[in-house]
Structures are given as C-alpha cells and as structure tokens.
Amino acid sequence: MAENNEVIQKVVQELLKRGINIDPKEAMSSLGGKKMETKDLLNSTSVVPEFVGTREIGDTIGMVIPSVDPLLLDQLHVSKKYPVLGILSARSGAGPHIMAIDEAVKQTNTEVIDVELPRDTKGGAGHGSLIIVGGNDPSDARQAINVALDNLSRTFGDVYNSAAGHLEFQFTARASGACNFAFGAPEGKAYGLICGAPAGIGVVMADTAVKTASVNVLSFASPGHGTSFSNEGMVHISGESGAVRQAVMAGREVGLKLLAELGDKPVNDFPSYIK
C-alpha cells in the first residue's frame, strides 16, 4: 500500500505538472452547475452586511443594499429609483433566476427594476444574470432575495445540459413582474419559455410547441435578436394555462431528442417541475 500511495502521488504530480485543472468548483460548474446541493456554500458569519446567501448552482450570489448611495443610484441602469436594493447575480442562468425572482416579487413588497443578461455560463452557450429589485424596507428586499435563492432548485429543474449544449423550459400559470420585465409576458396570465442551444434546436422546438396547442407567440429570441449574442433559440409564449404547459412539454420532448443527436443524453441537475 505504501508503494501504491507513492504511485498515486506520482501520477497526480505528473498530471498536475502537465497542467491538468483539478479545481473541483471549476469542473463542477463548467456546464452551469452539476450539483444537487442547495445549501449555502459557506455558512461563515460574513462580515459584509450586504451579503444574503449563495447557491452553488449557477455560482449565484444574493445581496441587499439597505440604503444605496444616491450618486451611485443615478448611474445604475434601473427603471425606477428605490432606496433599498436586492441583488441576485449569477454566472450561469437567466431563465431560472428570472422565474425565481418572479416568485419572490409575488411574495414580497418589492419590484423588479433591472434585468441584465451577460453572455456568460463559463464557456457554455447561454447567459448569466444580474437582477435588481427595489423596495423601501431592507427586510422586504432580504426576504425577496432569500425566496429567489430557495426557488432556484425548482426553476433549474427543467434545465438540461450536455457537452454539446443545453435546453431550458419554464412555466408559470400566473406571470408576475420579472417575467413581464424581462420577457414582456402579460402579468397574471400563463407564460412559457422554450429554449435550446445550439440555437437551431430552439427553432425546431418552437415550431413543434406552437403547433401543439393554441398559444400566443410573444417573441422569438435568437443569437442576434433579444439575446446577448448567446447561442440560443427561444420562444416566449403566453395564453391559457393548460395550452401553454402542453406546448412547453411538446417542445421539451423534441428538444431532448435533437440535443441527444449531438452526443450524450442531456441531464437536469434538479427534478423536473413541469408536468
């Protein structure tokens, strides 16, 4: 065994010398987060009062500014000025974070005032996100960010990754402020998102989806239109709840087959929630 350990050490050293990257965080999150853990990465007693929490999925961090500096507020790209800001920011994930905030603003006295989509996902085909909610009470903003963080294990449920790309599906029976702000979804009505990467898969999924049930096509986003140059094709649909859900599920069925043609089977990191 002593000899074995020596061999193992030598192999590891040899590999490290040859430049292998064994950062576990990097490897895990390279496709947008592969882990099922939803607990905070660190339970440290942070000395930064703005800190709310993190989730490993998407490298997501939530923060609250209890009283934003007016000089800075003037320069922020927000739709409306509030003294209190809640911030949800991630390297990977736009739809999941927007849907999570949609739930958060339903449950709290806050409003979505900024949604920006960086072209990120750590080498993947999609977006990260910067979402700001405004409020008048720090505890409201903190609660909103906590609700959003807790919803990510649900809203990532229908995100499917493979080495070649990804698929994302979202559904809500009643869209709220975040879906409206980000996607133009009519508030109070059912909303669905069908997204595929590489983008062409999204075109075919969209065609299948809108043929399946009678829904309104709000818009189609693609690399040059309505995305931040991501390699995604995505249709935003609205309408009657059952029809929207049926359309999303039909898109999912064809998308999973098409993306699998590019190699391995796409997998989700959390249980599917659209059924």
Report which DSSP code applies to 156: T
* Cβ 178 to a copy of itself shortest distance, Å: 15
Residue 89 pairs in a beta bridge with 61, 130
Which CB sits closer to a copy of itself, 50 or 137? Answer: 50
Binding to a copy of itself in span 197-216, by CB under 8 A: 197-201, 203-204, 206-207, 210-211
* Cβ 162 to a copy of itself shortest distance, Å: 8
Provide the mask over 1-40, with x wherever binding to a copy of itself is found by CB under 8 A and - wherever it is not: --xx-xxx-xxx-xx--xxxxxxxxxxxxx----------
Choose the stretch contacting a copy of itself; rule: CB under 8 A; options: 117-125, 133-141, 150-158, 181-189.
117-125
- Residues 6+ away with beta carbon under 8 Å from 51: 61, 63
Q: Rounded CA gap, 60 and 39, in Å? A: 12
- Residues 6+ away with beta carbon under 8 Å from 122: 29, 30, 32, 59, 91, 92
Binding residues for a copy of itself, total number by CB under 8 A: 101
Binding to a copy of itself in span 134-153, by CB under 8 A: none
45 binds a copy of itself, rule: CB under 8 A: no
* Cβ 255 to a copy of itself shortest distance, Å: 9
219, containing H or E segment = strand 216-221
Q: Rounded CA gap, 179 and 175, in Å? A: 6
Choose the stretch contacting a copy of itself; rule: CB under 8 A; options: 100-108, 121-129, 151-159, 172-180.
121-129
247 near 209, Cβ under 8 Å?
yes
